[in-house]
Structure 1
Amino acid sequence: MNEQSLAGRSVLVSGGTQGVGAAVVRAAAAAGAAVAFTGRRPELGEALRDELLAGGTEALFITADVADPASAIASVEQAAARLGRLDGLCNAAGLTTRGTLLDTTPELFDQHIAVNLRGPFFTMQAAVKQMIEQGEGGSIVNIISLDAHGGQPFLAPYVAAKAGLAGLTKNAAHAHRFDRIRINGLAIGWTETEGEAQIQRRFHDADDDWAEQASARLPMGRLNQPSEIADLVVFLLSSRSGVVTGSVIDWDQQVMGCYG
């Protein structure tokens, strides 16, 4: 990756305080971007912002909850106002709490739609409006999930929302081709993050060595790593990815549609 492939550009990352989102924030900064990012935990956001500022990156943390459309839209407006423009967006905020078709409550279903689908929708809406106003195009990357293909039974509301986001990615990409705004998605597989560790302990009674146990069962002998995903996000945000738009890329070691 060209270490300055985002030089002179401004990027917003939703859900950027930990996990894949934080990795994207760091990778975008390393690629030369000015970076704004959102999250609900100020202590994490301010620590990451200070880390970036100390390294010479123009950085802005915005306390925001993408489940609230007004908050999602305002985060785009704040980022563009403070950074002077907006060239890229990565929607990385996500909710992975469990529920099956039979035990999912309307409240749980609505939470997944709010965070995993409605949030990206209105964040993209505001970002695309900003990019159209600037008149110089832009690039958006949505973090989706391999589970958008169907997923496990205990991921029913998550799958519903992420499958919607995969379709939305293509729809928005088609709609804004001639605005030269490229919109792509990464359908990522099982990834080792702080949030996944919490989910494994909360819902699956996992031990502290859950990641090692999981890795031993996987083809490549390890879980996906946020930093590797972030490298591809930066590539898609940069001009190095050329004209590609409307692609939802499976990013995993499992091959969908193939069975042992």
Structure 2
Amino acid sequence: MLLQGKTVLITGGSQGIGRAAAIDCARAGADVAINYLGDEGEAAEVVAAITALGRRAIAVRSDVADPEAAPAFVQAAVAALGGVDVFVSNAGICPFHAFLDMPVDVLERTMRVNLHGAYFMVQAAAQRMVEQGRGGAIIAVSSISALVGGEYQTHYTPTKAGVHSLMQSCAIALGRHGIRCNSVLPGTIQTAINQDDLADPEKRARMAARIPLGRLGVPEDLAGPIVFLASDMARYVTGAALLVDGGAFVNLQ
């Protein structure tokens, strides 16, 4: 029960990494508020899974790219659950596309969701944590793509590098308030964001073969690291970036 008595807010919490993190945070004792933009039924399933664990939960539908969505999400969580102890910035998109003919709208939408959305949401959560005066923890889901390139991800990798950098700067800006800021950098995790890219069995096998642990990741692989960084076990960890990639980054030979 590492998060007993805490309230956790997670963006993009209806599926993938956000869903797994939300349920594991509840399993660790937290009440959870999720933001989502997709299917209402998926969000309701997450809320049901959390309440089945004996914790409170709400789902708020909004687009993180809208600056007004951030304070509204935080206010809804405070009204329903009483406060904000942990914030997980997870919402993101990656519409794979070649660089030379990248549509302006695809680039701008990716930037607005992944980077601007993270900024606004983290800022709103941090403002509430400062008002509460009891510190807190902020975790951003960056990516191995913050460290390496991708041919069809020229719009995506800069946003994930930005999220990683945002956590480093926020660790400095918010440390005096007792707020810790860290990022997790997942490798290839099987989620809706890359299901089309991984649809080819040969490509999946080739990618898995490059990973020292011998398999692609699943959302639940990120849940444990997020719970750890959210908990008091990581009370002296801030400005850090935790690779969760099965060893893919170090496998250069």
TM-score if structure 2 supplies the norm length?
Answer: 0.93
Once the two structures are TM-superposed, the CA of residue 194 in structure 1 deviates from its matched residue by 3.5
The equivalent position to 2:155 in structure 1, one of 144, 154, 157, is 157
Give per-residue Cα distances to partners, 1:172-204, cap 9 Å, x unaligned.
111011000000001110012243224434xxx
Once residues 222 and 257 of structure 1 are traced to their aligned partners in structure 2, the CA distance between those partners, rounded to angstroms, is 15
Once residues 69 and 133 of structure 1 are traced to their aligned partners in structure 2, the CA distance between those partners, rounded to angstroms, is 20
Q: Tell me if structure 1 keeps the 8 A contact 2:26–2:53.
A: no
1:230 and 2:227 correspond:
no
1:52 and 2:63 correspond:
no
The equivalent position to 1:36 in structure 2, one of 20, 23, 33, is 33
Give per-residue Cα distances to partners, 1:203-255, cap 9 Å, x unaligned.
xxx25x86556434432211122212110100000111121101122221345
Instruction: Structure 2: state its 5+ residue gaps.
Output: none
Once the two structures are TM-superposed, the CA of residue 55 in structure 1 deviates from its matched residue by 2.7
Once residues 204 and 89 of structure 2 are traced to their aligned partners in structure 1, the CA distance between those partners, rounded to angstroms, is 25
Aligned identity (percent) is 33
Q: Tell me if structure 2 keeps the 8 A contact 1:192–1:211.
A: no
Once the two structures are TM-superposed, the CA of residue 257 in structure 1 deviates from its matched residue by 6.5
The equivalent position to 1:248 in structure 2, one of 231, 241, 247, is 241
The equivalent position to 2:103 in structure 1, one of 102, 105, 108, is 105
1:23 and 2:36 correspond:
no
Change (3 A) 1:43 1:258: closer
Once residues 54 and 149 of structure 1 are traced to their aligned partners in structure 2, the CA distance between those partners, rounded to angstroms, is 38
RMSD: 1.8
Q: Which residue of 2 aligns with 1:146?
A: 144
Once residues 101 and 160 of structure 1 are traced to their aligned partners in structure 2, the CA distance between those partners, rounded to angstroms, is 13
Q: Tell me if structure 2 keeps the 8 A contact 1:77–1:126.
A: no
Paired residue total: 252
User: What amino acid is aligned across from residue 227 of structure 1 in structure 2?
Assistant: E
Q: Which residue of 1 aligns with 2:208?
A: 215
After TM superposition, the structure 1 = structure 2 runs for residues 139-218 of structure 1, keeping only pairs within 5 Å, are: 139-201=137-199, 206-207=200-201, 211=204, 214-218=207-211
Once residues 99 and 134 of structure 2 are traced to their aligned partners in structure 1, the CA distance between those partners, rounded to angstroms, is 44
Once the two structures are TM-superposed, the CA of residue 88 in structure 1 deviates from its matched residue by 0.2
SS at match of 2:68: helix
1:8 and 2:5 correspond:
yes
Once residues 98 and 107 of structure 1 are traced to their aligned partners in structure 2, the CA distance between those partners, rounded to angstroms, is 13
Q: Which moved more, 1:174-183 or 1:224-233?
A: 224-233
Give per-residue Cα distances to partners, 1:90-109, cap 9 Å, x unaligned.
11111011133312122111
The equivalent position to 1:127 in structure 2, one of 118, 125, 128, is 125
Q: Tell me if structure 1 keeps the 8 A contact 2:21–2:227.
A: yes
User: What amino acid is aligned across from residue 236 of structure 1 in structure 2?
Assistant: L
Q: Tell me if structure 1 keeps the 8 A contact 2:142–2:164.
A: yes
Once residues 192 and 204 of structure 2 are traced to their aligned partners in structure 1, the CA distance between those partners, rounded to angstroms, is 11
The equivalent position to 1:65 in structure 2, one of 48, 51, 63, is 63
